[in-house]
Structures are given as structure tokens and as C-alpha cells.
Amino acid sequence: MVCHNFGALPDNRNLGGGYMRAHFIPMTLRRRLMAAVAHAIVAPLCGAQAPAASLSHWAAPVDIDHSVPAVRTDIVCPMPLLLQEVSERVQELVANVHQFSAREHIEHVEIRKNGNPRRTRKNTFNYVAQINQVSGSPSVEEYRISARPIETAAGEMIDTGTAAFALIFHPYFIRDFAMSCEGLADMQSRVAWQLHFAQNPSRSNLFHVYRVGKTYYPAKLKGRAWIAADNYEVLRLQTDLLEPIGEIHLQREHSDTRYGPVEFPKQNVRLWLPQSTALYMDYRGRRYQRRHNFSDFQLFSVETGEEVKGPKTIGKR
């Protein structure tokens, strides 16, 4: 699950200067990504391209339903295969990766009503993500250690788990979303199937929540994902709220996460992990932008009993 907190850090995160621990509560994320055939060349594309994001001023991209990014529609989208394959990629990651660490740089900007920055803060963390699975439900815990104290103003948003949105395609969560294939696109110089998804009203909504104090508020999501047509990995994933959350005065939340291959020579494995996430929020009349950038990855493999197993090769077919 992905959880955002508002207000002061919980007690277990006020541990000495720069230590921050965030727990992803196991919420439901079921949704299969389609990925299929092809080294096709994306020729004539139809649709409008989304504007680029920037942290220099309030430049939140338009809602994902405002327009459909350019796609090629003359090739049939193999939806069942796509969903099956992308789901398998996510399951492989959860089953074979116990922990990974990275260097994380976070830039936080509060935007005035006139669109100019009011306050900007930057910090770099030693970041560790631990992936667990109990009774079929994947969960993630995040740990961040900073060299300097973490400044958190009263009522400020603390986001955890945003980079884990690809878990939406895990079998445990995939059916919580209605999905459709929009066509074949060009993404990061790769041919990719472009998918649209939205919270299924007949399913439970436990994947993405906000916590204010001790109360949790589920957030209904919709979004768009780009799945590599050759190996079915998630290349990019964007989300928006299906509707504002009036109880906490949250009007807008837009996230944009890009994924990429990371080589681990010691384990002789390549994994697709988050490279960056941009988050835009309109909360209680204030606008925020936050960017996470990840680098210097290290992998810790799963241990079974006293035998240490290396991860399977993912993304190489």
C-alpha cells in the first residue's frame, strides 16, 4: 500500500536527528498490466502529449483524463497476455527481492497562490526498502537516514510508498482496478503498451490511503501506465485522484514515477526499480511539489532458512 501522512512524524520516526521509518500498510493493489509482442516502430501516433513537469513553479500536469497521449492504434493490444506478463514481472520482484538500498535525493517545494515558490527544502537520504509478503499480500517498509536533522512543519505532508505504485499490477491488487489498453506508444525510446486504469467501484479500496492523526482516508485512484512491449516491465506510471477527499480538503494529487533497469553484478541480475518520482498536491489551499530521485542501488537477496538464494534474472528474456 501507499500511505501519505499529514502532521508531525509518528513517535517511531522521531528517532535521533535524521532517522525516518515509514511502513506501507498491506493494502489492496490488484491490477494487471498489459505487455505484449513487439519491436514495432511507433509510426503515426494519435493524441496529445502531456506537458512536462517542473519544480520551479506550480506546473502540475493536467489530469490524466484531460487528453490521451499519442498512441498507435493499428496494432491489436494483447490485453490478457499483457496483464499476465506484467503481473509475473511484479511477482518475481516481490518473491526474489528482500531488500534494496539506494541514495535518495528529495526536493520539496511549497508554492504560493501566485505560482511562485514559497519555501524550498532539499535533503539526501540513505534509503532502504524492504519487501514482505504475508498471505499473498505484498507490503513494503521504508527506512531513511539523513546526515542532518529532518525539518517537518506542523501539518506538512510526509509521503511514503509513492515509488511502489507498480505493485498495482500484483495479483493481490490488480482486480481492484478496471483497465483498458489505449494503444502502442513511444516511451523513453522504447515501444510500450499504454494502459489506463481506474479504481473499480465494486472492489475494496485499500491500496492508497492518507493518514491524518490516527484516521485513514482511502484515496480512489486512476492512472496511466506504460509497459515495455518486449519484456513487460513497467517503464512509467502516472496517477491522479478519481475524486477529491473533502474530509481532509485534498483537492489534487498527481504522481509520475519512472522506472529503469539496475544492474547488480554480484548477483548477476538486472531489476527494474524506481528512478524518480514527482508528486504534486493541492491540500487545504496550499500547493506542494516533491521530487524523489534514486541512485547507487544495492541489493539484498531473500534468505530461506540457512540457505541464501540469489534473485532470479528479471527483465532478460
CA dist., res. 295 & res. 293, Å (int): 7
pLDDT tens digits along 98-148: 889 999 999 999 887 777 777 889 999 999 988 888 877 888 888 899 877
Band of residue 153 on the pLDDT scale cut at 50, 70, 90: low
Smallest CA-to-CA distance from 125 within 54, 208, 22 is with: 22
- What is the arithmetic mean of pLDDT over 6-25? 36
Task: Give the type of residue at 47.
Answer: G
pLDDT of 222 above 70: yes
Band of residue 211 on the pLDDT scale cut at 50, 70, 90: confident
> Which of 16-20, 82-86, 123-127 has the weakest average pLDDT?
16-20
More confident residue, 187 or 153: 187
Band of residue 36 on the pLDDT scale cut at 50, 70, 90: very low
Task: Give the type of residue at 295.
Answer: S
CA dist., res. 213 & res. 148, Å (int): 26
CA dist., res. 13 & res. 11, Å (int): 5
Which domains does the chain carry?
A: 2-43+64-308 (2.50.20)
pLDDT of 151 above 80: no
- What is the arithmetic mean of pLDDT over 164-188? 93
What is the pLDDT, as a whole number, of residue 213?
Answer: 86
Global pTM value: 0.78
pLDDT of 298 above 50: yes
The 10 Å Cβ neighbour count of residue 280 is 23
CA dist., res. 98 & res. 264, Å (int): 14
- Residues in Cβ contact with 11 at an 8 Å cutoff, skipping those fewer than 6 apart: none
Mean confidence (pLDDT) of the chain? 77
Q: By the 8 A CB rule, do 119 and 156 touch?
A: no
Percent of the chain whose predicted confidence (pLDDT) is above 90: 46
pLDDT of 198 above 80: yes
What is the pLDDT, as a whole number, of residue 59?
Answer: 65
Band of residue 74 on the pLDDT scale cut at 50, 70, 90: very high
